[in-house]
Amino acid sequence: MRLSEFEVKSIKESIRVFDPDALVYLFGSRTDDSKKGGDIDILVLSEKLTSKEKRLIKLDLYDKIGEQKIDIIISKNGVKSPFVKLAVSGGVIL
């Protein structure tokens, strides 16, 4: 996984302010140590988070870890869609 401990901690803290029970996954190229670059792809399993809170999380992360390309996907239906299943199966829980 190509995130620092500080980045992982910041991601979890920023999300858990709004939903302490959320499950947070890193997926995509940042899970592969042999690759370089890439955006930070985050999947959040939460029935509570709103699109406004998602924007606030991104703003908080920009303040904490700098302006990087961060994609946050929120799934309110658990692991039902094929995309979410793929992200969870290839992802790393934070």
Q: Alpha helix (H) ranges present in 17-65?
A: 51-65
State if pTM tops 0.95.
no
Which pLDDT score, from 0 to 100, does residue 86 have?
A: 94
| Domain residue limits, the chain | 5-93
Tokens linked to 12: 């979890």
Tokens linked to 5: 């401990």
Which pLDDT score, from 0 to 100, does residue 3 have?
A: 93
Q: What is the pLDDT of residues 76-91, one digit of tens each?
A: 988 889 999 999 999 9
68 Cβ partners below 8 Å, 6+ apart?
Answer: 39, 40, 62
Instruction: Flag whether pLDDT at 16 surpasses 80.
Output: yes
Which pLDDT score, from 0 to 100, does residue 36 have?
A: 81
CA-to-CA distance for 52 and 31, rounded, in angstroms? 27
Can you name the CATH fold of 5-93? Answer: Beta Polymerase; domain 2 (3.30.460)
Q: What is the pLDDT of residues 21-56, one digit of tens each?
A: 999 999 999 998 888 878 999 999 999 999 999 999
How many CB atoms within 10 Å of residue 21? 9
- Helix H or strand E encompassing 27: strand 23-27
